Amino acid sequence: MKEIKISAPFDMHLHLREGQMLINVLPYTSAVFPRGVVMGNLPIPVDTAEKAIKYKSEILADDVTFNPIMTIMLTRNTTPAIIREAYNHGIKVIKYIPEGVSTNSEYGVPLNKLHEFYEVMETAEELGMILSGHWEAPFNINGNPIEELCREEEAIPFLAAIINCFPKLKIVVEHASTYGMIEYVKNAPNTVAATLTAHHALLDYSDVCDKTGKIIGSDLYCKPIAKKAIDRSAVLQTMISGNPKFFFGSDSAPHYAENKKRTPPAAGIFTAPVVMPLLCEIFDNNNALSKIENFTSRFGPKFYGLPLNEGKITVRREKWTVPYETNGIKIFLGRRELNWKVV
């Protein structure tokens, strides 16, 4: 196949940041993805309808062609009334990120405190909202850090508790990165789905850290961290399997180069400029190009209850070299040659 023409894709997990960074990165997403779920874990979290509306208008001021699906972050201040108010303003997604797990998670509710927010969950369930969560446990019950490779699977019991208590609540497991979590989602009720990233289908832990756990690839450092070969293979095989519970969310997370160079580096990889060509390579290399449209453009909106995007995009088999950086932001796979290009 020389080119594919598919229904315009959705990015169901996206970090656009604010201010100049937003201006710098949004065009890379909006050129390919007309819609995306914009994460509300900013340094000052988007945790009220008012803040979400303000953030939405900032995004639209940069690019009216992009249609952001806004989220409201679950923080220690969240109440059922705040959730209801957000819903009444068209916000259907609650972003959950546990405290201390990744960039801008300082205001998140720890996993072991989630039970204090069950009235919030109840309201979300009643309204038909979606709980989109970063399911990783950074600390054990004694408050000591859990090894990064185990954090996702350690969060499964907390996730299971929510699923059991709120059988009608739609839950998204963001960036499932382990065999164990993927198997869990496959076997969970149909109210539970997961997003998969391109980079977790490509990277191994050994690309990011040495045997002692020291970070050797700061540009590739993200949360959840890239895992073992068995996990990478599970992400890839699930992505191309055609299972509607799994859809695309890039988790494109830009940082300025100086923040990637510090110790420890800022967690996140800026994949938006390359991610659609990269997915084409992954699907093409695995003889699964016919399944890419479902993964990028249909399963996500179906789970969210959204109409498909109008319009199509064309991706062509054409070599190009990825720029190293843009406005001081390192691009994933910079200087590498890719075989597919969005035209």
Q: Which residues bind Zn ion (CB under 5 A)?
A: 251
d(CA 104, CA 153): 22
d(CA 201, CA 197): 7
What is the longest distance spanned by two Cα atoms in the chain?
Answer: 55
The active-site residue out of 63, 210, 251, 284 is 251
**Is residue 73 within a helix (H) or strand (E), and if so which, with residue range?**
strand 67-73
List the strands of the sheet with 130-133, edge to edge: 10-14, 35-38, 67-73, 93-96, 130-133, 170-173, 192-196, 246-248
d(CA 302, CA 193): 11
- Our CB check for Zn ion shows the closer of 30 and 104 to be 104
- Our CB check for Zn ion shows the closer of 91 and 253 to be 253
- Our CB check for Zn ion shows the closer of 238 and 271 to be 271
Q: Measuring CA to CA, how many Å separate 1 from each of 60, 220, 293?
A: 36, 31, 15
Shortest distance in whole angstroms from residue 320 CB to Zn ion: 27
- Our CB check for Zn ion shows the closer of 264 and 307 to be 264
Residue with tokens 């990783």: 136
Which residue's CB atom is positioned nearest to Zn ion? 251
User: Annotated catalytic, 207?
Assistant: no
Catalytic amino acids?
A: 251
